[in-house]
Structure 1
Amino acid sequence: MTTTGSHDKADEMASIPTESTTSHGGADPFAKNGLHDIEAVLKARGVDAFYRAVQGWTEDGYALLDGREVVMAGSNDYLGLSRHPRVLAAAVEAIGRYGTSVSGSRALNGTIELHEALEARLARFLGQEAAAVATTGFQAGLALSAALGRDDVAFGDIRNHASLVDGMRMGLGTVRSYRHCDPDHLRQRLRASAGPGGRLVVTDGVFSMEGDAAPLRALREVADEFGARLIVDSAHDFGVLGRSGAGLTESAGLTDRVDLIIVTMSKALGSTGGVIAGPAANVRQLRYNARSLLFSAALPPASAAAALAALDVLEAEPERRDRLHRLSRLLHDGLRAIGFDTRPSTTPIVPVTFPDVPTAGAFWAGLCEAGVITNLSGPPAAKRAMLRVTVTAALDTPHVERVLRAFSVVAERLGTPRADEPLPPVELTR
């Protein structure tokens, strides 16, 4: 990669706060490495990339940032439904009927008809027997802890979402990782972990940072060899992949062969909340034992109503998904044509990697100045420094063309990673 304004590694490290001690001489629990360290590195170079307040969104793919209109190329609102008139109207109506909160947990006083309708609808759409709605997608992932008993072992892809990692860690059993999208390594780990308990294989469907899809059929085959259960987090493929939009399990032909599907409503459904769907016995086990479901106020009425209305639109307007895939190909191929390697993604999540965080931060700032907002990520959120660009159905061809022009302009100034050989056009996983 050719860049200007390169920096010394020691200079970068000098900008990172070091762990401090308390007045009593012990280590300070709050002085830990993490995102605030990356923020310090970036701010030392004049880049303010995190916790930026957006003043609002428009219905046509733009956001208002610092008083100016910019292309929103970092949103997870894949089908562009968060501002759809039917979704907004449903949320407003629910507030008028139920208020802003149910003020209680689902198990006690917090269940309303909207929750039950949403669970039935999502179970049917996902091709499962039952579903349980959680207040957030993260809490749905945490619910996995109730499936992991003392003698059980969970095997997770090393790049699983943090909610899955935390859910497995909170369980009483043992947690093992396997190499990213590597069924052979999973087989080795399963073979070496014989014991009296049950075994769970846990994977993202589409991985949230690099946009690649898990090899579900191969993972199912390996799990079957050892009598293990397969759990799939479809946060980033629900509404996006599959013939009807039911996700990677549908696309892979495994709708009736997964033991649990986790979905968040904050992506394709333009709302918030999470859902756990699967065989009725599996869902019931978590519904009555998962602390993240039992000890949290239930999903607000407006969010439940918005998700139900979004499901209506998802089914009634398949052209949104078609546009999403068309624009994703356009962005992938356009970035590759100017030298950015977006592999391994084959989805609307488009990763652009950089050698280090300051270089990625400089590019992020250049894009922002050019009127394009992307997501800047680095360890621990992502394995490498990267810009995570996303496409939504709220955009159209002119938006993507503007994003590509911005990348070209910034690359002329800061440099472009060059592939050793031409890259083939991207083929989206359907």
Structure 2
Amino acid sequence: MEPQKSFVSWFRDSSPYIHAHRNKTFVIFFGGEAVLADDFDHHVHDFALLNSLGIRLVLVHGIRPQIDQRLAKLDVPARFHNNLRITDDVALQCVKEAAGLVRVEIEALLSMGLANSPMAGAKIKVASGNFVVAKPIGVIDGIDYCHTGEVRRIDSAAIHQQLDQDNVVLISPVGYSPSGEVFNLSAEQVATAVSIALKAEKLVLLTEQSCCNPDNGEQIQQMTTAEADTFLQQHPGISTSISLPLKAAMQSCQSGIDRVHLIDRTIDGALLLELFSRDGIGTLISSTAFEELRPATLNDIGGILELIKPLEQQGKLAKRSREKIEMEIADYIVIERDGLIIGCTALHPDVQNRFGAIACLAVHPDYQGSARGNRMLEYVYRRAGELRLKKLFVLSTQTMHWFIERGFLSSNITDLPDQLKALYNPQRNSKVLCKDIS
């Protein structure tokens, strides 16, 4: 029965995302390395699954290793400057060959309808074309980039037309000028420009490694654009496989894309884990914080009730009605994570008598042990300071030691202000704790 319960729990948890992503436009970038990998068909299966769930899908692929392979066969060295290829006539021919071959390979994989596979009965239609208008980079710092270009314009109307027909749009890092010239483009730049032009809900960048902090090796779960900018400045020697996607993510967010995801493509199923679970598996880049500590609003009451209900049933919290929380909502603060209330507490102040009562401190079981309780308590301290309160009280039945470890002292009922004595419930037999904050 355990596997069945696990599946049901997973399906219920993913269903809000299935609903939220339907009819939304996602731009997904992956490099030429992903195409060469033995497990690339797994990614294609996941693309097919996204398409079957009603997601409007635009795929942008890279071709850098494929170009290098062709140049190596010709015994021609690959030339780069500032991470951009110098595309001479020979390199341009290799670009054309690589782009054509990779596009055909991806189209072939998306056309599979193998029984007993995620592609069974998919019938995916793929559209590609001259959606990218480009211009030459020209000469920079005395370096002639030849046929290397940059995006001038994206034909968003043509792409939307294909998406409206339920086609998956496949775009190569090749652009065309109005005069018929062909330019080699940065695939990351193309993906960024396409997501911005389409006003996509998401840009997903499949990277060659996880985005980790070089100082401690830990994966970075989320960053704002400001934090990403600081990160790049502090780590100028970071791998281009991370720095280029990060810069693309920052540009996209600053141009109106709500969320950009950096996902290690070497992790099987990483795309699905990132898009259909609350915590994901990659690195989320956004203009504003993904998790926010803020004052509660009336719209949060349902989330607060859902969070504290199990604790009320266990006797850890006193029962509160919806009406009571609604009347006191100005006293509450919450931690919201991607639309879910994962933490809450309340500071009920008595400004005249200069004391406050901390109540209803709760953190979702899945997010405990990450200092979120401390963050809320620090917020309460700041709020109490703003109100010039002198003392804080807590009534607790099962979390006394948590507060004692944070400087609260055991006290007696007789030490409570008259206003709190009147509210004390002898049946709960709560312990009294207090802390001077003046």
TM-score for the superposition, normalised by structure 2: 0.23
User: Which one has the bigger strand percentage?
Assistant: 2
- Greater relative CO (CA pairs within 8 A, separation 6+): 1
TM-score for the superposition, normalised by structure 1: 0.23
